[in-house]
Structures are given as structure tokens and as C-alpha cells.
Structure 1
Amino acid sequence: MQSKISMLLACLACSVLTGKAQENHGKITAVKVEESEGRMPAIRLINNADGSCTFEEGYIPTLKHASTTTFWSSNKTEDWEKNAHPAPRRQYVVTLKGKIRFKVSDGSTFVIKPGVILLAEDLKGKGHSWEMVHTKTWERLYIPITEGADDLFVAKLDD
């Protein structure tokens, strides 16, 4: 199973995006994600000390084996999912089709597209909300991370 997931993530590396837009407090800022062999762009949702949700940009190294045991796909959404909620578990969310704008506690937003991995680790508090942008469907894989395992996320260093 792990080799299938690793192969899937490696295949997705072929579609790495060279850039994305990030909107913060109503302002849109261009954020360049350098295309680099051996890494896939990722955004991690995390909790602040007070339980509020924030995010950080970074990457997941390719061809490293993540500690997982299962995954499932979804193309359906329920209304409760669009309202603010914490992640139900530590998990990778791999978008196959669609463009999704996520919003965190302070009002900051970011956009996930195919080729950018979402790492959901905001397990408490109000969490995050999301909405589809110029699309009617969101096709994705949920890949839970084994309890206590490394998430492989490497935070982007501020330039």
C-alpha cells in the first residue's frame, strides 16, 4: 500500500505548479513556488497556541515514504464541510481536480490546485473553511498519517 501511495505522489510531482496566488486580508500577493526536482509544493494547516488556525507554506520531498496505511477518494461535498471545522485527523489532502480557497482563523486565505498538497493538522479550535473557486467539483484523495509519524513537511524559509 505504501508503495502505491508513494508512486501516486511521485506521479503527481510531474504536475508541479510553478506558482500560485495567495490572498491575505483582502490583498492578493503573488507567491512563487520554485519548480524543483525532488519536492512538491505543500501548505500545512496548523493550530496556534490559542487553538486558532493558521497555515504555512513549504514542500514535501518526493520519493520519501510517508507512514500511512490507507487512503480514499472523494468527489462529493456536504454543507458542513464548507463551514469552519478542524481537521478530523492528521492527513494529506491531494487535489486531483478543482481549485479550492481555504480560509483560516485570522481571515487569511490560500488556494489549493492540483499539484499542491494540503497537509491538514489543525485538529482543534474552529479550524478552517473552504470554498470552490470557478469549479463545481473537487476531486481529492485523503491520506491519513499514522499516529505519531513524521508528516515529511519542510517549511519554506522566508527570503
Structure 2
Amino acid sequence: MIKAYKLTTGADGHSHVETGHLTDGVFYNAAAISFKETAAHGFLDWHPAPRNQYVICLTGTLLFTMNSGEEFTLSPGEVLIAMDTTGSGHKWKMLGNDPWRRAYVPFNDEENINFVSEAKA
């Protein structure tokens, strides 16, 4: 199973994380994929996701933090499902000396994402 983290905006206006995994399947109706690299030791301060998207971590390890104090570490081979497009958002900083290489796969709001929460498993 591929470990995944889903970020959503709660009723309190802040981002929250749910840990789980992706089910076997495809990225339904994926119309685009893009790639980005950030040099080691990078960071990005508070921001909401620019759109609903899968962020597939290829290299690099990052610490994500939410306004609520929730944190998680994203590692290579794991997927972030960013759906916190409103509110206070999240921030991240890179750990270690590797660059962060990732692929972005955007999806529509009504898309059926293939995520199973640990809380529901």
C-alpha cells in the first residue's frame, strides 16, 4: 500500500491532516502532470493548496505543519492529497540534504479520490 496524507480545511478554517493509504487504481480524469524540484533545505511558510492535487514525493523528506499544531513527515514514495485550498493552510520545511522532487496531479473538487483513512480501516 502507498502511504498517503490528506489535507483538508476544517470548519475552524484551519488545515487538518488525515493519514491513510491509496487504494489500487488510477488518478481518475487526470488532465495534467507537472514536476518540480526544490533544492535541499528549502521551506515554504503558511499557504493553502493552490488547487486540489496529488503531490507524489519522488525524493526528499519534509516536515509539514498545520496551524492546529498537527505535523507529519512526508517521505519518498508517499503521496500528499492537498485539498486545503482555503483557510490558514499549512507550511513545510525540508529535512536532510536531498532535494525535493515531486509530481503534481491536479483533480476536480467532485473527483472520487482513491484514499482510505487509517481511522476507517
For the criterion TM > 0.5, the same-fold answer is yes
How many residues get paired?
A: 118
Which protein has the bigger strand share?
2
Q: Contact 2:15 / 2:90 at 8 angstroms: preserved in 1? A: yes
Identity value in percent: 31
Structure 2 stretches lacking a partner, 5+ long: none
- Among 140, 145, 153, which residue is 2:107 paired with? 145
- Among 64, 83, 102, which residue is 1:121 paired with? 83
Would you say 1:103 and 2:65 are equivalent positions?
yes
By relative contact order (CA 8 Å, sep 6+), the higher-ranking structure is 2
Distance apart, 1:138 and its partner CA = 0.6
Q: Contact 2:59 / 2:98 at 8 angstroms: preserved in 1? A: no
TM-score, normalising length: structure 2: 0.88
Closer, same or farther: CA 49–131 of 1 in aligned 2, 3 Å: same
Structure 1 stretches lacking a partner, 5+ long: 1-38
TM-score, normalising length: structure 1: 0.68
Aligned-partner Cα distance in 2 for 1:61–1:158 = 13
Q: Contact 2:30 / 2:105 at 8 angstroms: preserved in 1? A: yes
Would you say 1:85 and 2:47 are equivalent positions?
yes
Report matched runs for 1:1-20 at 5 Å. Answer: none
Superposed CA RMSD in Å reads: 1.8
